[in-house]
Structure formats: structure tokens, C-alpha cells
Amino acid sequence: MLFTENILVALAGLKSNIMRSLLTMLGIIIGIASVIAIMTVGNSITIMVNQTMQDLGANNLQMGVMQKSQEKESTDTGMNYGEGYVREMADSDLITQEMMDDLLTEYKDNIKYVMYTEEMTGFYEPGKVSKGNTDAKVNLIGKNADAIKFKNLDMLAGRQFISHDYSAAKRVCIVSDKLVDRLYNGDYDGVIGKEIEVIANGAYYKYYVVGVYEFVQESFSLGSSDNPTTDLYIPYETARVATHKQNKGIAYCDLVTTIDTNNDEFATQVRDFFNMKYYAKNDAYEVACISMTSMMDSMNSMISMIQLALSVIAAISLVVGGIGVMNIMLVSITERTKEIGTRKALGATNGSIRLQFITESVVICLIGGAIGMLAGVGLGTFAVKMMGYEAAVSVESIVIAVGFSMAIGVFFGYYPANKAAKLNPIDALRYE
């Protein structure tokens, strides 16, 4: 019963001094709101990054030829950051088809797809397909059969590439529905067989459309909503001919592993397979292989560290708010000295006086925490929506914030409450 009365007394005190109470809570409100907003934005970005990595393929291994370290040993992933320039990469340094066939024979139970990609446009400089006065932005990309199969395109018209398209380096392409909507008024069947001209890096390429796929907007796609940059696929061999790389080895590829393969361990096995068997005598280059899982863990760890650092900085205002609560409680005790003396004269114990003022301090912090929680959720959601992502409110941060509010109330309210409890009743009654 005493605890309930203390809460009612605290609420009555706050109501009688609304402006002073709000100013006292301001530090708590700002601190709690900042922490929750930062946690919300951080969680949303983490989820977006993980989803993007999943779309790219969480079971992927990225394998490529890298310069050997001249002064340092290889890392676990084979990534080296040695100092100094050695020499340009020659054709003899590339991974040949015979090497890849050997790898597939050795690890046929671990590798599901070997994906080759030949980018013919830059990330910041997409290509362009024009029809009349209208154009559509495209990424001109060559992919092999495994890479197209892995993309799992939802075909709306026409067909995907057939084996002859790859082996004969046919000048055929698969375009997105967005391109057809923009240039051909959505006539998916009518565009099949038409010749289109692609401008990429100042060069002109002509291809015949054999298929139309449904475009799905990705997090990092370029272009506005009415003219997004979509992928225009051609056979890998066709892209290699266009870039004069036919009959040469590869410097990079992606491996998709089977579901029961430990990617981190397998990445090391693939690296060692190439470096021990084919690159041991290479004076400048070796093969590196990294797991997308490791990359995802590293990115999540980095985001968490940034999130934690920003939260700690924001939490400083909570300490400032706590000092404000202590200050106002000391003022309140001074104003209510006679009340304290009267209560003690009527038999109130030091413990009950202490509990009364600690309760008032906790109530101030909890109300400030509740307002800060609502403000933080709203601010964080607004910020995430402005970034174009889905908001993911951190329940954990809300629980921590509420608990921290109570802890601040007890910690910073104890000294004033203890001071009030130790007042001499006679001196308190005489106080003017």
C-alpha cells in the first residue's frame, strides 16, 4: 500500500510542476530516443544487408587470382595485402578450364554450380538501349549456364539460353519486363526476335531478344523507379568474344556449394588445391577463396560495432539527464523539508522517507523513458523509411531502455532520498 501511495504522491508532484518536470525529463527523453532510434536504424540496415547477401547467394564462394604477398604470409582466406608492385597479370596466371575441370572432379560432391560472369558495363556507368526518343538503362552482363540457372529467372515470354547459344557465342539476349514496358509498350511476345542495340562504354553491340524476365528491384539497383537499371543478359562466351577474352583463362568466378558443405573449411580446401597444385611455382600470383558467410559475418560485426559506438555516445545524454533528476530531487527535498519533518514526527521511518523519494525519482525517469521510447521508435522508423528500407524496431533496445531508466532513477535518486531520510525532524520542522 505504501508503494502505491508513493507513486500517487510522485504523480501529484509532477502534475503540480508540469514544466519543471518536463525539463527534468528532457535529458532522459533525448537519451532514450537516440539509443532506440540508432538501434532501429542499425537493425534495419543489418537485415537489409543480410537479405542482399542471401539474394547474392549465402552458399557462394568467391574465388579469384590475387597478387602474392611479398612480405607477409597468406591469411586464412588467401587474401594477401603485400607491399609493392610485382608485374601485370599475364594469361599464364589465369585459371584455365582444365584446372576447373580438375577441381570439379576432385570435389564433385561439394560443388553445385560454377558461375562465370563477364561485366561489360560499370556499376556507375550503365549501358543504354534506345528506341526513338526513349531509352532504358541496362547492365550488360555475360553469364554461363550455371549462373543463369542460379538466377532462377521468372520468364514472362520467350526462352532462356540453350547450349548452342553458349557454345556458338550467339548474339542473343534476355531482357527485363521493365525495358519492354518502357520501349515496346509491354509487348512481351512482340519483342521476341527483335534486334536491339546496346551502347556500353562507348561501344555498340547488337543482340536478338530471345526472352523476357520479370525484374525484381534490388537494394542497390541504380536508376529511378520509372527507369531503373535492369540486367540485360547475354551468353558468357558471347561477352568474352566481345571483350576479346575468348580462349583465355579466368581471373574470377563464384562457386555454389551443396547444402551440407562447410563453406569456411571448403574455401580453404579450394585455395590450397590451386595454390599447391598449380600456383606453387608462380612468382607473383595465387588463388584466393573466401566464403560469403564470412563476409556477411564481418559486415554484421562492423555494423554492430558502429551501432554500439553511436549508442554509447547517445547514452551520455542519459547521464546528463540523471544528473538533472538528482538536481531537481535535491530542490524538491529543500522545498518539502517541513513535510519531511512532519512525517518523521508522526512516526515515518528513515526507510519510508528514502523509499518515497526514490519512487519519485524512478517515476520521473520511467515517464521520461516512455516518452523517449515512443519518440525513438517514431524517429528510427522515419529515418529507415527515408532510406527506403523496412523498419525493424529493436524490442531488445526498448527493454534495455526501460530498465536503464529505472536504474538511473534509483542511482541518481538515492543520494537525495538518503539525504531526506537523515534529516533531523526537529531541524526540519524549524526550517523556513
Mean pLDDT of 209-233: 77
pTM listed for this prediction: 0.60
Alpha-carbon separation of residue 342 from 2, 61, 174, 348, 429 (angstroms): 17, 76, 88, 9, 7
Residue 219 lies in a domain: yes
| Count of beta carbons in the 10 Å neighbourhood of residue 382 | 13
Strand partners, 63: 253, 289
> Quick one: 131 and 223 in the same domain?
yes
Residue 199 lies in a domain: yes
Domain end among 242, 266, 284:
242
Residue carrying the nine cell digits 520509372? 226
> Per-residue confidence at 213, pLDDT binned at 50, 70, 90?
very high
Tens digits of residue pLDDT in 2-44: 667 767 766 776 677 777 777 777 878 888 888 888 888 877 7
> Quick one: 305 and 405 in the same domain?
yes
Please state the domain count of the chain.
2
> Quick one: 43 and 124 in the same domain?
no
Residue 108 lies in a domain: no
Q: Which of 100, 59, 239, 110 is nearest to 166 (CA)?
A: 239
Which residues span the domain enclosing 182? Answer: 118-242
397 touches 40 (CB < 8 A): yes
Over pLDDT 70: what percentage of the chain? Answer: 85
> Quick one: 39 and 132 in the same domain?
no
Residue 350 lies in a domain: yes
- Output Rg (C-alpha) for the chain, integer angstroms: 33
Q: What is the pLDDT of residue 322?
A: 79
Task: Check pLDDT > 80 for residue 366.
Answer: yes
Please list the helix, strand and coil fractions of the chain in percent, rounded to the nearest 5, in that order: 55, 20, 25
Residue 24 lies in a domain: yes
Mean pLDDT of 243-253: 86
Tens digits of residue pLDDT in 85-138: 568 888 899 999 999 999 999 999 999 999 999 999 876 789 999 988 899 999
Domain end among 242, 259, 282:
242
Q: What is the pLDDT of residue 428?
A: 58
Mean pLDDT of 79-84: 50
Task: Check pLDDT > 80 for residue 59.
Answer: no
Q: Please name the residues in contact with 182: beta carbons below 8 A apart, sequence gap of 6 or more.
A: 134, 136, 227
Strand partners, 211: 158, 174
Domain end among 198, 225, 242:
242
Q: What is the pLDDT of residue 146?
A: 94
- The single-letter code of the amino acid at 136 is A
Task: Check pLDDT > 60 for residue 240.
Answer: yes
Residue 106 lies in a domain: no
> Quick one: 318 and 197 in the same domain?
no
Task: Check pLDDT > 60 for residue 76.
Answer: no
Residue 258 lies in a domain: no
Q: What is the pLDDT of residue 192?
A: 96
Tens digits of residue pLDDT in 140-182: 999 999 999 988 899 999 999 999 999 999 999 999 999 999 9
Q: Which three cell numbers stand for residue 270?
A: 579450394
Q: Which of 376, 348, 391, 329 is nearest to 36 (CA)?
A: 376
> To the nearest whole number, what is the mean pLDDT of the chain?
82
Q: Give the separation between CA 293 and CA 298, rounded to whole angstroms.
A: 9
> Quick one: 235 and 305 in the same domain?
no
> Per-residue confidence at 220, pLDDT binned at 50, 70, 90?
very low
> Per-residue confidence at 54, pLDDT binned at 50, 70, 90?
low
Residue 314 lies in a domain: yes
Question: How big is the CA angle at 305 (ends 302 and 309), to the nearest 5 degrees?
Answer: 140
Q: What is the pLDDT of residue 241?
A: 92
